[in-house]
Structure 1
Amino acid sequence: MRKRARRKPASPSAAMDPLKTESYDYTLPPELIATEPADPKDSSRLLVVDRRSGRITHARFRDILDFVPARCAVVYNDTKVIKARLFGRKRSGGKVELLINRPLDARRYNVLIRGRVKPGTYLDFDEALSAEVEALNEDGSRTVRFLFRGEPLSFEALLPHLQRLGRVPLPPYMQREDTQKDETLYQPVFARQEGAVAAPTASLHFTDELFEKLKRRHDTCAVTLHVGAGTFKPVEAETITDHPMHSEYYEIPEQTLRCLDGDREILAIGTTVTRTVEHYVRTGRRFGECDLFLHPLNPPRRVDHLLTNFHLPRSTLIMLVASFLGLERTIKVYNEAIEKRYRFYSYGDAMLIL
């Protein structure tokens, strides 16, 4: 990812337009981009926003249970990050880097490949695992088949090879290579269903002990949304509603539907949970493709509270935060977080919106 040019800080004003992408811009000092998680994870900072009173409280994540409403049900995403980054060579010569985005069907995958790779090209990752590039897509991604000793691989059959050869797909803004400790740290403690290529970052603050305390105090239930590389795609259109929203596969277990169809308040652990729940509320579908774009003109209907991290400027994620807080308050909160030296992005600090 190219380094973003520094821009003037956004200042809340009556002239800010929630439909304009430039309204969601802000300037972040580079040193506030977290490249390592807090140690321990629940020692990260927590900014709590009370929407009714407007009060902002600065706390530590380990104290989150002091703020979660008593009768609130908590929904989390149990997706698990796979080692989706592969390094290999074209048979015609030259190194390649491939990032799996998502399976398309039983044998084909949408991937991102650095460099020029034409359809018909074969890529070798070791003596047995290879990929055939079948198509170049309009968005620059490729469609490939993975092969083991010449035989196409299903996603389940591919996973052991990724575990053996793949690398943890850290976000590009960290500007460092993954290490062995990222295999644990860039993974929620409640991760179960393999398929994500990016972590649901609000989940990364939980330790096993803190999550167990949460479960003792609150009803908890899981959804699965496999986070794709599209989550990092900036909004490039001038008007946010012209942005082609990326799509990600989701599933909601039957037992979770009882929570979603009830009348208890819901705290979503992360933007991925929010999108999943809100997509279900709008469509009634328990599984499928989620391409819901939440923003101030399309606010949540079912999720009452949100736990999230601090997100990239001009991203669909900061726009989702604004669907809870409104544009002006979102920019005010982000500017205060910068002033208070919070750490941003995937390994950064957290925000709880009540």
Structure 2
Amino acid sequence: MHSSDFEYDLPPALIAQHPLPDRAASRLLVLERSNGVIRHARFRDIVELVAPEDVLVLNVSRVIPARLHGTRGPGSGTRGPSGAAELLLVRELPDGTWLALGHPGGKLKPGRTVRFGNDSAVEVVEVLGGGLRRIKFVGALDAPATLARYGEVPLPPYIRRPPRPEDRDRYQTVYAAHDGSVAAPTAGLHFTSELLERVRARGTAVAALDLHVGPGTFKPVEVDDLADHVMHAEAYAVSEDAAATVNERRQAGGRLWAVGTTVVRTLESCAAADGSIRPGAGETQAFIYPPYTFRAVDRLLTNFHLPRSTLLMLVCAFGGYEHVMGAYREAIAEGYRFYSYGDAMAVT
């Protein structure tokens, strides 16, 4: 298939700029992938869709306040005027340095420093491909302390407003546990603690894994032939307990509900030929697009995704290209809210 097959026109007014006051009040488009039948519900109705024998799998990665605004300084061996700079921290490397995206890129050369307040600074160590830089913290504050004091929630570029204090709570799932993501696993934003308790009360198992979402999640596929696309890598971890819970439920006839495309990519990366999940940790570059045979996932909860995005391609692989693109057209006609703070769909 071609990336142009995944284009669609979205009125800008349907791009959600703010979350709803009640997480679970989001609309839910339910798509039956066997026949393309669509029905409309609310996210809180998920309790009626998930059966007692099923297992719900969550991504418990926590979004870090990864965006930093600072002032450029000369640094070791460099000259040049000061000015504003922005960094988006991506992940820490084993040697204690960090990968980061920087702006303005042309000004952030090796040896250049960026200061945050009077007690924190980073130095550019190396310029890498794809706009990335390797940086090290050289001020009084280390990375966690700097992010806690100066970091902003890394809202996606289609949310055209500055971050607000409430975004620290709302651009985060209620069950987030382990720091590492620079974008939210958005399908989970609709769950409240009370809604999860109702799911558990029905007998449904809930399992957790980690996939730390990187900035590449927002990047459109720029090549026409999907086979030429190079997928970004993201770190994941699946515990022995989570794998055992998933395997026991599926072997007993229950269905696996993946809460988000990040869960799908992780489980498909860890699945054996028979569909069983193997525990472990590593990085995945899984790029899932039609046609694809899923081994581990039976049902999918997800948000509405950007045109030409790898996320939309994954959903089309799961639900069927014609069915999913038709569902997007209906969602637009019905005024659904799109993207991170928008509504959800269940592909059953």
- TM-score scaled by structure 1? 0.90
Residue type of the partner of 1:133? V
Q: For each residue in 1:263-307, what CA deviation from the matched residue of structure 2 results, as whole angstroms up to 9, or x when unmatched?
A: 232000001111111111159561011111111123421111000
Aligned to 2:284: 290
Aligned-pair CA distance for 1:106: 3.8
2:67 and 2:88 in contact (8 A); partners too: yes
Q: For each residue in 1:244-274, what CA deviation from the matched residue of structure 2 results, as whole angstroms up to 9, or x when unmatched?
A: 1011111111100103334232000001111
Matched, 1:144 2:135: yes
Identity of aligned residues (%): 44
Aligned to 1:13: none
Q: 1:313 aligns with which of 295, 307, 311?
A: 307
Aligned to 1:7: none
Segments of structure 2 that go 5 or more residues without pairing to the other structure are 75-81
Aligned-pair CA distance for 1:138: 1.6
Aligned-pair CA distance for 1:147: 2.5
SS in 1 for 2:316: helix
Q: For each residue in 1:49-102, what CA deviation from the matched residue of structure 2 results, as whole angstroms up to 9, or x when unmatched?
A: 112343211011111111123421110011111100001111130110111112
Correspondence list, 1:1-354, <5 A:
19-92=1-74, 93-115=82-104, 116=106, 117-149=108-140, 153=142, 158-217=143-202, 218-262=204-248, 263=251, 264-281=254-271, 284=278, 286-354=280-348
Could you tell me how far apart the structure 2 residues matched to 1:285 and 1:72 are? Answer: 19
Aligned positions, number? 330
Could you tell me how far apart the structure 2 residues matched to 1:63 and 1:287 are? Answer: 33
Residue type of the partner of 1:134? V
Segments of structure 1 that go 5 or more residues without pairing to the other structure are 1-18
Could you tell me how far apart the structure 2 residues matched to 1:78 and 1:169 are? Answer: 17
- TM-score scaled by structure 2? 0.92
1:250 and 1:290 in contact (8 A); partners too: yes
1:260 and 1:277 in contact (8 A); partners too: no
Q: For each residue in 1:152-205, what CA deviation from the matched residue of structure 2 results, as whole angstroms up to 9, or x when unmatched?
A: x4xxxx223211110010001011110000011011000010111100000001
1:294 and 1:300 in contact (8 A); partners too: no
Could you tell me how far apart the structure 2 residues matched to 1:345 and 1:322 are? Answer: 16
SS in 2 for 1:173: coil
Aligned to 1:8: none
| Stretch deviating more after TM superposition (308-317 or 292-301) | 292-301
Could you tell me how far apart the structure 2 residues matched to 1:50 and 1:26 are? Answer: 21
2:239 and 2:279 in contact (8 A); partners too: no
Residue type of the partner of 1:113? G
Could you tell me how far apart the structure 2 residues matched to 1:42 and 1:209 are? Answer: 10
Could you tell me how far apart the structure 1 residues matched to 2:136 and 2:279 are? Answer: 29
SS in 1 for 2:138: strand
Could you tell me how far apart the structure 1 residues matched to 2:19 and 2:284 are? Answer: 29
| Stretch deviating more after TM superposition (292-301 or 166-175) | 292-301
> Where in structure 1 do 4 or more consecutive aligned residues deviate above 3 Å?
282-285
Could you tell me how far apart the structure 1 residues matched to 2:235 and 2:6 are? Answer: 27
Residue type of the partner of 2:73? R
Could you tell me how far apart the structure 1 residues matched to 2:57 and 2:138 are? Answer: 37
TM-align CA RMSD: 1.4
